[in-house]
């Protein structure tokens, strides 16, 4: 997620961050196990208690076995340390709460270790479950949006547009106007890293908990400007965990209710969180920018993946309309960016306009 409010933290390698996270998890687990062991030992040790009602000293330990033929009488064994009228006895029911606490501490320690290991090798499981439920709900809402027909006013406006590109831009503007923060607006598919997620409108905290989100300062796909999409890498299904593995030539598909757009990766770079312009700037051609925190388990930097638009095909009610599709010749002018090294892109004719 892009941010201009935080200063970049001290950069650390992904290996160092993972090692520190593992150490912290093991320390927490070890502390929980020691606490549980201490609780069990305390329960089994001899603990003197004073019964407030009867005024007798009670030692929680097994009473000595009486000699043969000895009458136990009241069942109380005189304690060796008191020599007074008080008596010792064992009350197993007093051990139950302590043993329960010990078991609870052991379970909590086990869950902490499991969660830490799962986060390191896969993703955070609790937030992943929440995001999975949200994605299922959003997927159903997106299908309804895809099947919806244009309003009468929209149909009249579309009738006056002859080019496919103009119709796509009109429908993209209409969806952007009515989309709320966190509402589903499309689906992103990246074959190279095997992901398919519903994309939401906006990059607020709640929006990104549901899935990747379109940055508000950028254009919707099909409007001809820059479209920036942010996503998590370790929590909430971690949709962008592996975007740093994308290479030039990899395809990224955006299935919008109004169009199917195919982008081709041109490069990637790493920037400071405050360098928002690198992701949202209009460069004179339609492009897609994927953004996520880097390295893993840190928000010190942002990894940006750049892609140029290759093809856009009009979609109606979830079905691509027959036709060649609108090829974006400007995508051929997109600069190749790899690990921060950027080639010079041709300057667009006229003055560059800000992103929609």
Percent of the chain clearing pLDDT 70 (strictly above) = 58
| Pairing of the two strands 319-320 and 184-190 | unpaired
d(Cα 88, Cα 41) in Å, to the nearest integer? Answer: 20
Instruction: Give the model's pLDDT for residue 319.
Output: 86
- pLDDT tier at 286 (50, 70, 90 boundaries)? very high
Instruction: Give the model's pLDDT for residue 297.
Output: 83
Instruction: Give the model's pLDDT for residue 103.
Output: 74
Instruction: Give the model's pLDDT for residue 2.
Output: 45
- pLDDT tier at 208 (50, 70, 90 boundaries)? very high
Please spell the DSSP secondary structure of 62-94, one letter per residue: PPPPPPTT---TTSPBPPTTT-SS--B---GGG
Summarised one tens digit per residue, pLDDT across range 163-203 is 999 999 999 999 999 999 999 999 999 999 999 999 999 99
Summarised one tens digit per residue, pLDDT across range 221-235 is 999 999 999 999 999
Instruction: Give the model's pLDDT for residue 126.
Output: 86
Instruction: Give the model's pLDDT for residue 198.
Output: 98
Identify which of 260, 254, 251 has the alpha carbon closest to the alpha carbon of residue 319: 260
Specify the higher pLDDT residue, 71 or 207.
Answer: 207
pLDDT at residue 43 greater than cutoff 60: no
Mean pLDDT, the chain, rounded, equals 76
d(Cα 325, Cα 306) in Å, to the nearest integer? Answer: 22
Identify which of 251, 276, 272 has the alpha carbon closest to the alpha carbon of residue 331: 251
Contact indicator for 268, 288 with CB cutoff of 8 Å = no
pLDDT at residue 279 greater than cutoff 50: yes
Specify the higher pLDDT residue, 321 or 234.
Answer: 234
pTM: 0.63
Percent of the chain clearing pLDDT 90 (strictly above) = 49
């Amino acid at each position: 997620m892009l941010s201009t409010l935080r200063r970049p933290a001290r950069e650390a390698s992904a290996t160092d961050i993972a090692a520190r996270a593992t150490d912290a998890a093991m320390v927490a687990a070890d502390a929980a196990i020691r606490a549980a062991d201490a609780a069990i030992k305390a329960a089994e040790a001899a603990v003197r208690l004073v019964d407030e009602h009867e005024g007798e000293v009670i030692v929680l330990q097994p009473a000595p076995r009486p000699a043969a033929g000895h009458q136990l009488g009241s069942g109380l064994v005189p304690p060796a340390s008191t020599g007074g009228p008080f008596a010792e006895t064992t009350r197993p029911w007093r051990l139950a709460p302590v043993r329960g606490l010990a078991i609870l501490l052991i379970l909590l320690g086990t869950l902490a270790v499991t969660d830490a290991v799962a986060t390191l090798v896969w993703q955070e499981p609790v937030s992943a479950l929440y995001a999975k439920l949200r994605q299922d709900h959003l997927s159903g809402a997106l299908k309804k949006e895809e099947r919806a027909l244009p309003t009468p006013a929209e149909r009249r406006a579309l009738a006056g547009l002859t080019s496919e590109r103009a119709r796509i831009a009109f429908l993209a503007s209409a969806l952007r106007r009515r989309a709320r923060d966190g509402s589903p607006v499309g689906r992103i598919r990246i074959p190279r890293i095997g992901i398919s997620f519903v994309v939401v409108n906006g990059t607020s905290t709640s929006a990104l908990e549901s899935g990747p989100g379109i940055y508000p300062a950028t254009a919707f796909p099909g409007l001809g400007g820059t479209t920036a999409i942010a996503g998590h890498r370790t929590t909430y299904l971690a949709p962008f965990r592996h975007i740093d593995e994308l290479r030039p030539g990899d395809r990224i598909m955006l299935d919008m209710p109004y169009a199917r757009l195919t982008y081709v990766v041109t490069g990637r770079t790493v920037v400071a969180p405050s360098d928002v312009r690198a992701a949202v700037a209009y460069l004179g051609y339609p492009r897609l920018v994927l953004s996520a925190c880097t390295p893993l388990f840190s928000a010190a930097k942002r990894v940006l993946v750049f892609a140029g638009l290759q093809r856009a095909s009009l979609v109606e009610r979830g079905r691509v309309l027959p036709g060649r599709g609108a090829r974006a010749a400007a995508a051929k002018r997109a600069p190749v960016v790899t690990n921060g090294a950027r080639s010079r892109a041709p300057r667009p004719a006229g003055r560059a306009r800000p992103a929609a």
